[in-house]
Structure 1
Amino acid sequence: MNRIIKLSLIFVLFVFINPSALLGQIIDLSQAKIISLKKQDPLVLNAINILQEEISKRSNITLTKGSKFPNRSQRAIVIGLENGLDKFPLEYRQFLATMPDIKAEGYKIAVIPKKNVVLVVGNDSRGVLYGIGKLLRKLELSQGQILLPSDLNIASSPAYPIRGHQLGYRPKTNSYDAFSVEQFDNYIRDLVIFGANSIEIMPPRTDDDFTSVHMKLPAIEMIVEQSKICDKYGMDVWMWYPNLGSDYTSSDSLKLEIEERRKVFKAVPRLDALFVPGGDPGDLEPDELFSWLEKEAEVLHEYHPNAKIWVSPQVFRPTNAWFETFYEHVNKEYPWFGGIVFGPWIKTPIKEIRERLNPGIPIRRYPDITHSLSSQYPIPHWDLAYAITLGRECINPRPNDQKIIHNAFDQYAQGSISYSEGTNDDVNKMIWSDQDWDPKTPVMETLRDYARYFIGPNYKETVSHGLMALEKNLQGPLLTNDGVIRTLQQWQNLEKNATKEVLGNFRFQMGLIRAYFDAYQYRRMIYETELEQQAREILSTAKVIGTIDAIEKAMKTLYKAKQQPIMSEWKNRCYALANDLFESIGAQLTVGKHFAAAGRGNFIDNIDVPLNDGMWLIDQLSLIEKNGDEADKLKAIANLLERNNPGPGGYYDNFGTPASWSRVVSNYSYEEDPGGLKSPRVSFGVGLRGEEWVHEITAVGFDGHTTPLSWMNQVTALYDEPLKMVYPDLDPKGSYLIRVGYTGRFRSKIRLMAENIMIHDFITTGDRPIYEFKVPANALEDGILELEWSCGEGERGSQVSEIWIINQDELNKK
């Protein structure tokens, strides 16, 4: 026992003299010097400034810079290039030589044992920049302290040469239009630190308003500043430039288009590539498109002679003839042509595009990381309650989904520049940059770097897990997801103990507001579901208490959702955080107060959208109350309560429920087809009477009356991909009707077949919601009904919201 006590005292004394021992091989760089022998490389010098400035911001320590190697006792961060290692001490060179080789833009970070010296060596100037970025992500920076794990030895090169994000300065975005030049500089620097090497900007004229109340500078001036910022960081500058002219064959129209581009191309100091979408917006036939691109290239090369033009086969209503002509042009490999961009609303899977291209033609991905529904990669099987509140463009950290989406197709492309509409997808940007650098990077590693660097080392575990929890909030039915409350509790604990600086950090605010918002919707979902059930139970007693009394009591119960709301303190916290985000980063979460573009990032406007069928029930009950005698009213109430009942031996499905999806046939997993190009996907919207729903889901959509929630949620197959469902255990000799709801975001011409037998020929959806057809008897010979919907060529897809399979024989017995 005495020996144990003695050893313990020795250990305590050792820790007292050397407290870093408890930290687990941590070196203290608080008094280190930044050493660089590269005196004339502007990118390296700027990278060193970034290191010095970002350390100073977070630690309040400004490390001095020098050009001579440190003495034996001096702690140092030594910056260099591989082609300048001959000036390094032999010990340093020998250590670096034991590490794996690096390629273009790659770097080595090494801690020299017993020297307290950190080496950051780039294969090239960009490599130095990304090495410094990685070092900053791994440093433990707090007030008065700079710590680093002593075993941080990394040799890394990017897997893909294109790694970037679109930062469009236009009103349609949820925050970028409010950025100042300084904010763009800071945000682009953040992206660089996470490995981005490209930024895509937009011209002043896009498919949007020309200006907004938020803009600090005219668009033409801001894109000049964005280009300058990127050049300072050695980044490639891309420009997304759609074809919005009225006529690309008219000489007068072409002259206007050419002059506009000349003005834009002349203004920006750096432009490495132009991305022209084939459509969305600016649909042109391929011959016309490529003829125009050749003229555009001439103007582009007047000011940026090495820039290339990339193009996407992006078109809303594609035909085989369009694609055939498009790829004929692409494979000619015009001298100005850079490559193909794979983005939203492209019908052909990227693997098939790769097979149609000449081997040397590169593909760049244009992933939509910013939208949660009606998008390239919607949240799979998303609960309708979230769809109608969080909406299309909410704050949407989806780290695991982003890795799945990235890794499903990364091998077919040279990297990506993401489609972004603002800061709402901030976490997703960092995930994509890390995956484009190394697809094997664990998601949690990126999230820990994100939390450590942007929030602080004390938040490395808590915030990273908190962001993971926000993604889990969105998975599965909300009504049964009790993890939503635990997520809020975790974020509230962080909020309670956070410093003023952290509470003012927009990245922390974004996570916090989502935690409150999700929990508020969860509690409302439980509350409003119960209120609807109570109202239905009251209506079921109408025969006893009288229809007028039942209607009055049921409506009063349904109105409680608005008149007696719950958890108002959570809603008020969301409002306060929305104001905070507007102040901290220009995030526009409401139209009225923050002047958001409607349907973009303004999910706080939807915070109290009803989550039950109360509005529809009240609307229907008002009609019943005014019409018919007591018997008519009783019958109408019974029909209302029995609406979703298919009768004995039947089926009812609406595609906001997991059970209904079990009858949908899919040959691909989410990991194989996250974009749903070959498999069914979830969609939302009503879109009746030819009105296409794009950004916001509305409950009013048919003959001036509210619609049931079931009309807002569909199973969808895109383009002419067939949509299949199977209904087993039917009576082979029975007589069946199929009643089907055709609602959704867009109109389509669709046909329904059963066992290769036509149920109905092509009809255009959107004129009315519900159709009814007889099921052919010979489609039921084996007791299994196999349904298949298909669209004609050039259509946007099949959408089905509800299905009743009704056994007429059993119904007649009833």
Structure 2
Amino acid sequence: MNRKLLELFLTVLFLSCNGKRGVSLDLSQASLLISPAWEETFQNTTETIFSEEIGKRTGLKFDRADVWDTDTIIAIAISGESELYGRSVPARINTHPEYQKEGYRFVHERKNGKDVLWIIGADKRGVLYGIGKFLRTAYMQRGQLSISEDVDTSESPKYALRGHQFGYRDTANSWDAWTVDQFDQHFREQVLFGANSFENIPFQDPGSSVHFKVDPQEMEIQLSKICAKYDTDYWAWTPAPEDLTQKNASEEGLRKQEAFYARCPRLDGVFVPGGDPGDNHPSELIPYLKSLSVLLKKYHPDAGIWVSLQGFNKEKTDYFFKYLEENSPDWLTGLVNGPSSPPLQYERDRLPKKYKYRFYPDITHTVRCHYPVENWDQAFALTLGREPCNPQPFRYTELFRRDVPITDGFITYSDGSHDDINKVVWSQLGWDPNKNVGDIVTEYCHFFFGPEVAKASADGIFDLEQNWDGPISENETIEETLTLWEKLEAENPQLQDNWRWQQLVMRAYYDAYVQTRLAYEKNLEQQAYQMLADADNIGADKAMDHALTRLLQADRKPVASSLKTKVFQYAEKLFHSIGAQTGVAKYGAKSPERGAILDFIDYPLNNKWWLEDEFKKIREFKTEKEKLGRLEFIRTYASLGQGSFYDNISSADAKHVTSKTDDAIDYLWENDGLSRKRLSTQLFQFTPTLEYDELDPEADYLIRVSGYGEALLRANGQRLKPTKYEKGYEQFKEFPLPKDLIMDGKLKITFDKPDEEHLNWRKQSRVTDVWLLRQSPKTR
């Protein structure tokens, strides 16, 4: 969407939903009536949510009443309830949303001189969701609470299952530092945006994280209690023993599970992944699950057993579905589709209708994951890594609408607070897949940042998503995004302790720092290559000295230090506000992949490290001729003569690559992320597609491929035979291109996928670089 049109859209949207449309109903002096039909504990929960969330934003206090003795009242009732403390509850026919499971309505009624804002829920959850919608759209400022007089909103959810995983474990990049109160508040906020399920990961070693404030076994119980408090489902992600064929493995696993079931006040679902971790054959896993279901029903009769087929090959998958068809077990509630599961539609088609089907999408990671960021510049992948603050409302709206419809709902995979906006987007789309993403994000900003800043901050969130679209060097949005967030930062000091605000502002500074550094370091690399071009005149060793000195200027004369300083300042704030672990040594992150963005903020964005290593090798060559030859190859690696083409396969600025990195992996991870390989070697696809339309039909061409393992190359559909076939990193395969394949000047290169299902993905063949080299007459 054009930025100016987006701003106009959000302005209109903001004015329509912030309580200032038309005539406003002043609720600052309203009394609060809550239906006595619920038990006292839920009445108290409802009053607490309402009073605390409004109180912290307005300073107003609301005490529960049981008489209609004020001119303005906020009344919370059950749909179908005929009256509340003697006054009729607005009623409609029972096909309306407030009569459907989890549905609600809130509507203004003026009668007998009184203004009543009714929040009417079909059930407990419906009431909480109605309160959530009210809080997300009411105008709240110090001493002010109002909403449009003509408000009449009602809805019920499309999907029955709408949840998120919150694993209290050391691999989470913030949650292991949280207290029970922080989880309580966060679960409440998730409910207010439409979530109804939370999944923990129990059985954590109390000594596994230095950040634990609470023993993990105690937190398991507390999270269960929080879910009971808000009437949300409590799930557990509990892998089976990794090898069930080992003696007593099943019995030990069952004993451990039973102890967990016994100590949980509430438990609604147990999800056992078939893989990741675990590699059990279904012939071993199914009996274990059956025994597990007996124990689960003993303590939680309404809870269900769920399983995924993650990592299953065809034989395992066929075995599982054949078992379901022949046995139709009642102990199984449903199937879960997660990363590395068979395709969604395939599983849906084979799953008997009696079983539910849950989606387990990864909305927390950016690379080596279920949904890698599309068109992401390598500089971001190398620095921000796998778990940065990653709001992608447009992208995840598109993915939700593509993948969720054939399921019964979802509990997303998450490993921290950095994907908070993505969770809200999924929760809200779980209510209505056609909701406008602008509405969702603006309500998010309205609720967490306040009505006066909602429009601008929503605009800033969309801009952060645009920052990641395509080559950094061509992205003008990054600078504009920083300008916007700098202005918001300066004008809203009251938000400086808000962790959601902190991570968004930090991202704006981080992105701008990477952009500035990338331009600087790429320019230094080009200057270094120009110095290598003089090697014939000054000698190879001296040319390398000059080139290296120029490359090291990035360390000796760094750029944009003020932007980097701001990133570190916000990282410190986030550590104190929510325990965000943005560095391994500094903040105790579990590993470099777990949100440690500070550890990579200065990762070289040119080939400095690779060149340093190459220069060391070249200095050992015996002859000057060898040295000069290798330096010339390095200098012209990606800078070819006219009529030849080079593509770094997964680079955002690749000119001829038409395929996307949908493999869930898009760059090599080694040495804890500090790989010294050439940058292009770290980017790959398993089976890329490239297209050319500017070839000379009379010329001879050679296709050169770099990568790892096999490269089963086709040119315009015809498999080519190689004249060179090296399989290691930074080695080459070469394929002469027959002229008769390019008579029209066009070429499409594809790669067949080798039969490597037995290999871990890290060992499977991949392509990193492709050259199409026009051969000069003397080399034909």
- TM-score norm. by structure 1 comes to 0.87
SS in 1 for 2:277: coil
Match of 1:805 among 755, 772, 775: 772
Any conservation in 1 of the 2:80–2:99 contact (CA below 8 Å)? no
Partner of 2:34: 36
Partner of 2:681: 711
The within-5 A match list for 1:464-613 is 464-499=458-493, 501-598=494-591, 599-613=593-607
Amino acid at match of 2:753: S
Amino acid at match of 2:253: E
Partner of 1:684: 667
Distance 1:647 1:602, change over 3 A: same
Shift of 1:508: 0.5
Distance 1:807 1:21, change over 3 A: closer
SS in 2 for 1:255: helix
Give the whole-Å Cα distance in 2 for the aligned partners of 1:242 and 1:22.
51
Any conservation in 1 of the 2:376–2:468 contact (CA below 8 Å)? yes
Give the whole-Å Cα distance in 2 for the aligned partners of 1:760 and 1:261.
56
Distance 1:267 1:99, change over 3 A: closer
Shift of 1:789: 2.3
Match of 2:431 among 429, 433, 437: 437
Match of 1:84 among 75, 81, 85: 81
Partner of 2:5: none
Amino acid at match of 2:221: V
1:705-762 Cα offsets, whole Å, 9 max, x none, are: xx21101111345xxxxx544445556676544321224xxxx76644446654469x
Distance 1:249 1:538, change over 3 A: closer
Give the whole-Å Cα distance in 1 for the aligned partners of 2:94 and 2:267.
37
The within-5 A match list for 1:260-299 is 260-299=256-295
Any conservation in 1 of the 2:378–2:652 contact (CA below 8 Å)? no
Give the whole-Å Cα distance in 2 for the aligned partners of 1:578 and 1:398.
21
Give the whole-Å Cα distance in 1 for the aligned partners of 2:740 and 2:182.
63
Give the whole-Å Cα distance in 2 for the aligned partners of 1:709 and 1:333.
52
SS in 2 for 1:63: coil
Any conservation in 2 of the 1:686–1:711 contact (CA below 8 Å)? no
1:12-46 Cα offsets, whole Å, 9 max, x none, are: xxxxxxxx998742222111111123254343442
Partner of 1:772: 733
Distance 1:309 1:262, change over 3 A: same
Residues 513-522 or 607-616, more deviating: 607-616
Give the whole-Å Cα distance in 2 for the aligned partners of 1:108 and 1:23.
19
Match of 2:236 among 239, 242, 264: 239
Distance 1:787 1:386, change over 3 A: same
Asked if 1:130 is matched to 2:129, the reply is yes
Match of 1:742 among 692, 698, 707: 707
Say what the alpha-carbon RMSD is for the aligned residues: 2.8
Give the whole-Å Cα distance in 2 for the aligned partners of 1:265 and 1:201.
13
Distance 1:296 1:234, change over 3 A: same
Give the whole-Å Cα distance in 1 for the aligned partners of 2:748 and 2:463.
40
1:458-508 Cα offsets, whole Å, 9 max, x none, are: 211111111111111111101111211111111111111223x41011010
Any conservation in 2 of the 1:452–1:460 contact (CA below 8 Å)? yes
The sequence identity of aligned pairs, in percent, is: 33
Distance 1:212 1:727, change over 3 A: same
Shift of 1:656: 4.0
1:124-177 Cα offsets, whole Å, 9 max, x none, are: 121111111111111222222212222321010001110111000100010010
Any conservation in 1 of the 2:98–2:120 contact (CA below 8 Å)? no
Give the whole-Å Cα distance in 1 for the aligned partners of 2:546 and 2:734.
37
SS in 2 for 1:170: coil
Match of 2:453 among 455, 459, 468: 459
Any conservation in 2 of the 1:590–1:603 contact (CA below 8 Å)? yes
Amino acid at match of 1:772: K
Shift of 1:356: 1.2
Shift of 1:549: 3.4
Any conservation in 2 of the 1:509–1:577 contact (CA below 8 Å)? yes
- TM-score norm. by structure 2 comes to 0.90
Any conservation in 2 of the 1:789–1:798 contact (CA below 8 Å)? no
Asked if 1:340 is matched to 2:360, the reply is no
SS in 1 for 2:587: coil
Distance 1:115 1:543, change over 3 A: farther
SS in 1 for 2:573: helix
SS in 2 for 1:592: helix
The within-5 A match list for 1:619-658 is 619-645=613-639, 649-658=643-652
Distance 1:658 1:168, change over 3 A: closer
Distance 1:642 1:107, change over 3 A: same
Any conservation in 2 of the 1:403–1:432 contact (CA below 8 Å)? yes
SS in 1 for 2:753: strand
Residues 331-340 or 582-591, more deviating: 331-340
**Which runs of no fewer than 5 residues in structure 1 stay unpaired?**
1-19, 667-674, 688-692, 701-706, 718-722
Any conservation in 2 of the 1:43–1:129 contact (CA below 8 Å)? no
1:108-136 Cα offsets, whole Å, 9 max, x none, are: 01012474321000111211111111111
Partner of 1:787: 750
Any conservation in 1 of the 2:19–2:147 contact (CA below 8 Å)? no
Give the whole-Å Cα distance in 1 for the aligned partners of 2:65 and 2:305.
43
Shift of 1:367: 1.0
Any conservation in 2 of the 1:753–1:760 contact (CA below 8 Å)? no
Distance 1:262 1:757, change over 3 A: same
Distance 1:760 1:306, change over 3 A: farther
Any conservation in 2 of the 1:79–1:119 contact (CA below 8 Å)? yes
Partner of 2:162: 163
Amino acid at match of 2:136: R
Number of matched residues? 751
Give the whole-Å Cα distance in 2 for the aligned partners of 1:43 and 1:416.
26
Partner of 2:673: 697
Give the whole-Å Cα distance in 2 for the aligned partners of 1:781 and 1:467.
46
Shift of 1:338: 1.0
Any conservation in 2 of the 1:211–1:219 contact (CA below 8 Å)? no
Distance 1:358 1:94, change over 3 A: closer
Partner of 1:309: 305
Amino acid at match of 1:283: D
Distance 1:327 1:44, change over 3 A: farther
Distance 1:568 1:645, change over 3 A: closer
Give the whole-Å Cα distance in 1 for the aligned partners of 2:711 and 2:328.
38
Give the whole-Å Cα distance in 2 for the aligned partners of 1:732 and 1:663.
21
Match of 1:255 among 229, 232, 251: 251
Residues 790-799 or 403-412, more deviating: 790-799
1:612-646 Cα offsets, whole Å, 9 max, x none, are: 11222232233334534444433332222112355
Any conservation in 2 of the 1:364–1:413 contact (CA below 8 Å)? yes
Any conservation in 2 of the 1:685–1:698 contact (CA below 8 Å)? no
Give the whole-Å Cα distance in 1 for the aligned partners of 2:64 and 2:213.
35
1:675-701 Cα offsets, whole Å, 9 max, x none, are: 93xxx77711166xxxxx8xx53323x
Partner of 2:380: 386
Amino acid at match of 2:752: W
Any conservation in 1 of the 2:79–2:99 contact (CA below 8 Å)? no
Residues 475-484 or 630-639, more deviating: 630-639
Give the whole-Å Cα distance in 1 for the aligned partners of 2:92 and 2:719.
73
Partner of 1:349: 343
Distance 1:632 1:89, change over 3 A: same
Give the whole-Å Cα distance in 1 for the aligned partners of 2:169 and 2:391.
23
Give the whole-Å Cα distance in 2 for the aligned partners of 1:503 and 1:135.
25
Give the whole-Å Cα distance in 1 for the aligned partners of 2:466 and 2:727.
34
Give the whole-Å Cα distance in 1 for the aligned partners of 2:612 and 2:68.
79
